Chains A and B, each alone.
Chain A
Amino acid sequence: MQKSLSRSIGMALYIVFLFVPIYWLLNMSFKTNTDILSSLSFLPPHPTLDNYRKIFIDPDWHASFANSISYVLINTVLSVGVALPAAYAFSRYRFIGDKHLFFWLLSNLMAPPAIYAMPFFNLYSAAGLFDSIWAVALAHCLFNVPLAVWILEGFISGIPREIDETAMIDGYSFPRFFVRIFLPLIANGIGVAAFFCFMFSWVEQLLATTLTTVDAKPIAGMMSRAYSAAGLDWGLLSAAGVLTMIPGAIVIWFVRNHIAKGFALGRV
């Protein structure tokens, strides 16, 4: 009993500790810059919605939220869509160099996005895609497709081969089998892969800001407006920070039961 109580207290303290930065961000978002800089206070001395108001009345902020959400969703659909057949192939077939190729995919994730910035800029400028949500969505595929392949391959390998063979014996064509039988079986895996793609694309800043200017400006680009030679607009930045956490929080809510499996790349 004693042990369980102390464990609960320990866990509660740990969770409180984890929530301190989020609480602090929320606290700052309702403060004026003067209050933020003048003294340490656990509640806003002069609560204000001004920081949120600035964001909600400015069409540039709305547009940047819409841009970010658009390219993140496009990227997630593309990445998972491309990764699914690839992961199936890696899981079910043996071919020359399959293991090397599978590992090589990961090497894309090992390189920092900065080294791709200039080549992507040149490529998309030449292709007329510069400053479009497609530029960012496609650029993020470089990182998200390998990640999705690795996650999905784990989930797919957890499905017995016999199911594929039984479906074939039952007369299912491959596309019908894949869509009607196989996809529902790995639905959790698809959700988890989509979650990781979403999160990477949502927080990636360098490529998103390099490949866009005015028409496809991402939320990260808008947030940089809070930094200026006249000082930092802490309140505005905090309010924007709170708002940018919301889409991620919603996605986490839907896949919360599968995240651990996702981190294990589908293997349990």
Chain B
Amino acid sequence: MVDRRSVLKGGAALGIAGVTGILKSSPSYAQKMDAAKKWVENEFNPSTLSKDEQMAEMEWFVNAAKPFAGMKLSAVSESLKVHDYESKVLTKAFGEITGIDVNHDIMDEGTLVDKIEVEMQSGRPIYDFWMNDSDFIGTHPRYKDIVGGSLTDFMAGDGKDVTSPTLDLEDFMGLSFGTFTDGKLYQLPDQQFANLYWFRYDWFQRPDLKSRFKSKYGYELGVPVNWSAYEDIADFFTNEVKEIDGQRVYGHMDYGKKDPSLGWRFTDAWLSMAGAGDRGLPNGKPVDEWGIRLENGVPVGSSITRGGDANGPAAVYALTKYIEWLKKYAPPEAAGMDFLESGPVVGQGHVAQQIFWYSAFTDSARSSAAVMNPDGTPKWRMAPSPHGAYWKEGMKLGYQDVGCWTMLKYAPLQNVKAGWLYAQFCTSKTVTLKKALVSLHLIRESDVWHPALTELAPKVGGLVEFYRSPARKQWTPTGVNVPDYGKMAQVWWQNIANAISGQVTPQEAMDGLARDQDAIMARIEKSGVQGPLGPKLNKPETAEYWFAKAEKDGNLAPQRKLANEKPQGETIDYDTLIKSWPSTPPKKS
């Protein structure tokens, strides 16, 4: 028999269970603050903020996240140690502090780019928010696919109540990379890396090698300032020195396999180092290093006949040297390698220098005994890359990029707003310094000058010094001139591989590339899908017309062919170079 007392007991039990369930799924304000305190004390140190400032920042997150507590979000980024840290540690911290559950997925960059292209083409959300490189900065604004129109507009509009007062955008070193021609920010930097010159500091210090080099080439063995010196050093180690301590050594390392990663070698940096494109930072104006000319924010062509520079003398010089050096100075297997295969090769200890090397490799290089001293300092150093014969002061000099939080408009607005909170959490001053120490990706100017970085500096071969130097501003990603990165990056590797395999000459390869780029831009123009900011190709003129116009306008691109593409080699002593850089933070204007 069921009596009244039993019913009341059962009801009370159910009530308690229900309340407990609710409490469990939605932590209280106090629980969230306790969690924040735990994370600030145990994980997020050091930080450029004091503990109180960190807690104040976390309190803002606790309050701002209230409407979204209990939500489940999905984010995605490429496989890098920094994102492993975010997906395993920061999602846990963020979940406990805000009550928002983020599944931060990780995959290789190629698959990620394919997926974001599918979302952009279909208009159907795949992830709630994305991390993709700022190379897409010419693409997103033209397809108008960012929530609110731009991140700047979103922060002032729908995202106003979820934009942190301590975000401090000006503190981000890579802010200009995510900024379009309209001056608005479209993507928020989350991790940054550069492609720098890499060399065996220990070999470059050896008196016997120094004197042999000087007697043959007439100048000091040191960090090459120009390509002539790089070429001489490559020749010296591959053909003169040949063996060090019984091991065959080489003066250059690169890759030449017909693979999409071959395109990155060129679009990322080779052309800008050579001197293709025009003056201007972060990208050449009016012609960038892809050889694409931009007029009033509109791409107007990449062939030299349309005012571009993709097949100009500087670009052809770049490809010619690439092939020549790969064949003459790199280990024989290099020509059959792709980016991933060739990356760790310098860590094997038989390569003297590499013209540009991803600083993202720094952490893995530290595990290679062949290039490390027993005390944990490296035998190698990084320094700014040398420039080619066509390069002039004021031009970009290499590749540096940021993985950016990118909020597309296709996901539900509530998810995007909650996602924006997570993006800011991953880039907050509470978190970034610790994240940088774990991953060696720096994004904030304030972190760069922290004593923890000074302590780290001797172990990471010049990475910290580079970020403290004024030189880092010359290293930039693909920019606003490229109207559709996904489509246009495809044509690079195929054309370049044809030249490396000897099927076509460098001139023919770059002609083909320029033609393919213009064809893609013509298709976009014809479709009208990018509206008034989409490409509008110039009518073809002679190359001479454009050479003369550039000279008349005081611009560089396209440059005429130089009579001497191998000027006198120039080097600089690494320690002298480091001393020439400031050791204290620059004063903000």
Contacts and interface: CB of A to CB of B under 8 A. Distances in A.
A215 B174 CA distance: 33
Contacts of B348: 37-38
A38 B340 CA distance: 15
B103 A227 contact: no
Given A37-B348, A38-B370, A227 B118 contact: no
A38 B247 CA distance: 13
B343 A231 contact: yes
A121 B122 contact: yes
Nearest to B103: A214
A230 interface: yes
A119 B114 CA distance: 15
Contact of B107 (A37, A38, A221): A221
Contacts of A230: 79-81, 343, 358, 360-361, 363-364
Contact of A232 (B106, B124, B341, B367): B341
A210 B115 CA distance: 7
B347 A37 contact: yes
A221 B79 CA distance: 12
A149 B119 CA distance: 35
Interface string A196-234: 000000000000011001100100010011111111100
Interface residues of A, number: 25
Contacts of A33: 344, 364, 367
Contacts of A163: none
A257 interface: no
B74 A213 contact: yes
A213 B126 contact: yes
Contacts of A213: 74, 76, 105, 115, 126-127
Contacts of B368: 34, 37-38
A122 interface: yes
Contacts of A221: 107, 111
Contacts of B548: none
A43 interface: no
Given A226-B79, A228-B80, A214 B122 contact: no
A89 B162 CA distance: 62
Interface residues of B, number: 38
Nearest to A126: B124
A118 B121 contact: yes
Question: Is chain A's binding surface mostly helix, strand, loop or mixed?
Answer: helix
A48 interface: no
Question: Is chain B's binding surface mostly helix, strand, loop or mixed?
Answer: helix
B254 interface: no
A227 B341 CA distance: 10
B290 interface: no
B358 A229 contact: yes
Contacts of B124: 121-122, 125, 130
A267 to B, nearest CB: 40
A209 B106 CA distance: 12
Interface string B115-148: 1001001101011000000000000000000000
Name the residue among B79, B124, B360, B369 with the largest chain A CB count within 10 angstroms. Answer: B79
B554 to A, nearest CB: 38
B360 A118 contact: no
B243 interface: no
A20 B500 CA distance: 32
Interface in B126-184: 126-127
Interface in B37-57: none
Interface of B: 74, 76, 78-81, 103, 105-111, 114-115, 118, 121-122, 124, 126-127, 193, 340-341, 343-344, 347-348, 358, 360-361, 363-364, 367-370
24 contacts: A37-B368, A38-B368, A38-B370, A117-B118, A118-B118, A118-B122, A121-B122, A122-B122, A130-B124, A130-B126, A213-B126, A214-B105, A221-B107, A224-B79, A225-B107, A226-B79, A227-B108, A227-B340, A228-B78, A228-B80, A230-B79, A231-B340, A232-B340, A232-B344
Interface of A: 33-34, 37-38, 117-118, 121-122, 125, 130, 209-210, 213-214, 217, 221, 224-232
A-B pairs, 3 with minimum CB distance:
A228-B79, A227-B108, A224-B108
